[in-house]
Amino acid sequence: MNQHLARYGCLEQRVVFITGGGSGIGASLTRAFHHQGARVVFVDIDDEASESLVAELSVKACEPPLYHHCDIRDVESLQKVIADTGQNVGLIHTLVNNAASDDRHRWQDVDVAYWDERMSLNLRPMFFAAQAAAEQMIQAGGGSIINFGSVSVQMALGGLPAYVTAKAAVHGLTRSLARDMGEHNIRVNTLVPGAVMTQRQLEKWIGPDDEAAIQTRQCLKLRLEPEHIAPAVLFLASDESLAISGQELAVDAGWG
């Protein structure tokens, strides 16, 4: 964890709900909000990574995060965890819709079942998590919803059309919810990460040659890590962004 992160006093003791918070970018977000003194609840399906993260953060002075095993494709279970969080931890102030799967696939091989499954993972949970969490935010007088988009949309990447389509739809979802929820003082924004070198990406998709090619296209010649994403998410969750909604914020080292 970057110990030099800006400190947002407004986030202390606020309830933050993160999907996919056990590994990769999600784990960096869990760490970052925990470092702010927030009360973090996250869902994931990787029990080993998630429980290890909770154990790591349990040695800190503040309250450790709470982990729930939940497949976000199961909307009923996801909304139940969100409801239980409101009842047992506190009203959710920040929802981070981070979880996704960017498995590669050829357009020729996609059938209806695969297409629907990709949408059920990469798009549908964002709406239904927002629907459930917003009810609590209204009670609390406002809040922040942060949906994760993808640079793959702007880059027109091939080899994963269902994923890119879902991520493109996230931008529309953000804009629409920002309009509908603004009257309740709920901000909705899209965070667009670039080519972040998570363990999954390095194991499955990005080799040394690929990483070099990515940095060639980036304005900033740095290795984009999960920790580079967290500061922008903290800002969008904090009161410093009270006048920002319906927007896209890219953290991609200028990849274009």
| Whole-number Å distance between alpha carbons of 226 and 197 | 7
| Whole-number Å distance between alpha carbons of 100 and 86 | 24
User: Residues with Cβ < 8 Å from 247, sequence gap 6 or more?
Assistant: 189, 190
User: 3-class DSSP state for residue 185?
Assistant: coil
Which residues on neighbouring strands pair with residue 66, listed in sequence order?
41
Helices of type H across 59-105:
75-88
| Whole-number Å distance between alpha carbons of 186 and 225 | 29
| Whole-number Å distance between alpha carbons of 44 and 178 | 26
Q: Which one, of 59, 3, 57, 49, lies nearest residue 26 by Cα?
A: 49
Side chain identity at residue 221, one-letter code: K
Query: Could you tell me if residue 185 is left (phi over 0), alpha (psi between -120 and 50 degrees) or otherwise beta?
Result: left
Catalytic, 8? Answer no
> Which H helix or E strand runs over 203?
helix 199-204
| Whole-number Å distance between alpha carbons of 64 and 24 | 18
Of 8, 67, 114, 163, the active-site residue reads 163
| Whole-number Å distance between alpha carbons of 121 and 126 | 9
**Contact assessment for residue 64 and residue 53, using Cβ atoms and an 8 Å cutoff:** no
Active site residues: 163
